[in-house]
Amino acid sequence: MVRPGLKRKTPDEEDYDPLIDGQREWDLEEKLNSTNYSATFVDVRDTGEGFGLAELQRDGFRNPLLFKNKTGLGLRVPSESFNVADVKLMVGARRPVDVMDVRTQQALVMTMRQWTDYYTDPNRDRILNVISLEFSHTKLDNYVESPTVVRQIDWIDRAWPPYLREKQMDALNSMDTMFYPKVRKYVLMSVADCYTDWHVDMGGTSVWYHILRGRKVFWLVPPTERNFQLFEQWTLSGRQDATFFGDMVEKCQRVELEPGNTFFIPTGWMHAVYTPEDSLVFGGNYLHSLNIKLQLRVWELEEKTRVKRQFRFPLFMQLHWYVLARYAGCLMRREHVVPPREEGEDLAAYAERMAEYGTELKNSHQPG
């Protein structure tokens, strides 16, 4: 499908390159209507009543879950009237925002004020997408709480030292000022006709995803070894615009999300996303103990496909060491990670602080 207002070059023209020119050689409209993507991987439920940690521990977390209503999930998000202008007020008008140009799939940076002006402009001249605005430690942080089961299994909650999380003051995602992996709370703001090409979420993270406004269409492919091999070939070919990855695999499912829906994507699921109308979505990424082997397989895939550092899970290796220390502590009943002594702190004060820290650890949950 050719975007309105864009002149498409033909393959006969010497300077034609579909990847550089941002033109696909397959028809998006056909992919939205085709009956080829009718696999039934997604477990669809009316509400989250009865769903929780016990089910995941018993049955595993292998297939995507779609809850039509968030009741019972322990999820908190703003009301349906919340909009992009409210995001600007909560995170700051001068906050830098990573933006994707959908036509070229290239990244650029805007301020939140510039993004709001673009989003609310009825005469947009480009199709832009924001899918990576992490808002922890902003005012918006207080209005969003991830689903209960996510907080119960998320390694950052379970294993990352609390004293390091408490040191985090900067709301930006700069590695220079990051004391823990800031990947738990995102707001996604997409205009109509946005398309995000096939990908696997960073580091093999699982994802929770709540549609506050608008709609989304997902194509999903399961994380089999054969599919990973095909995905690696497709990625390294440099010709992603020539082939729709969902057509290369044996089974693919297309699913549409509506306002009020909450979606859980497990480790390693390859997916592409289309936005039929302007949308506002909240979500977050998390690593956990239910799919460790698969998470590491995705990390290996990222290495092979040369995913850039800014698109990788931050502090990935450090988190795994903290998880190992947490398990060792549970097995040996001895804590292996403790806060360091502060500069100028006397021994008595440090001992008292360590006693409080030990009490906090003792009262915390065991790893999920």
pLDDT digits (tens, 9 = 90+) for 10-27: 333 333 343 444 578 999
How would you label 42-72 residue by residue, b for 16+ Cβ within 10 Å and e otherwise? beeeeebeebbeeebeeeebbbbbbbeebeb
- Predicted confidence band at 368 (pLDDT cuts at 50, 70, 90)? very low
**Does residue 6 have a pLDDT over 50?**
no
Strands 253-257 and 43-45: unpaired
The distance between the two most distant Cα atoms of the chain, rounded to a whole number of Å, is: 79
pLDDT value of position 186: 97
Ranges 126-135, 184-193, 283-292, 349-358: which has the least confidence = 349-358
Q: How far apart are CA 65 and CA 220, in angstroms?
A: 12
pLDDT digits (tens, 9 = 90+) for 131-168: 989 999 999 999 999 999 999 999 999 999 888 888 88
**Does residue 200 have a pLDDT over 80?**
yes
SS3 percent helix, strand, coil of the chain, rounded to 5, is: 35, 20, 45
**Which is higher by pLDDT, 276 or 175?**
276
Q: Per DSSP, which regions of the chain are E strands?
A: 43-45, 65-67, 96-101, 106-111, 128-134, 186-190, 194-199, 206-221, 253-257, 262-265, 270-286
Mean pLDDT value of segment 217-246? 95
Domain boundaries defined on the chain? 28-80+143-331
Tokens of 317: 């290796």
Average pLDDT in the chain: 87
Mean pLDDT value of segment 46-67? 95
28-80+143-331 domain in CATH 2.40.50.100?
no
Residue with tokens 């830098």: 96
Q: Which of 244, 216, 242, 245 is nearest to 232 (CA)?
A: 245
pLDDT digits (tens, 9 = 90+) for 61-91: 999 999 999 999 999 999 999 999 999 999 9
**Which is higher by pLDDT, 352 or 110?**
110
pLDDT value of position 21: 45
Q: Which of 284, 251, 265, 318 is nearest to 36 (CA)?
A: 251
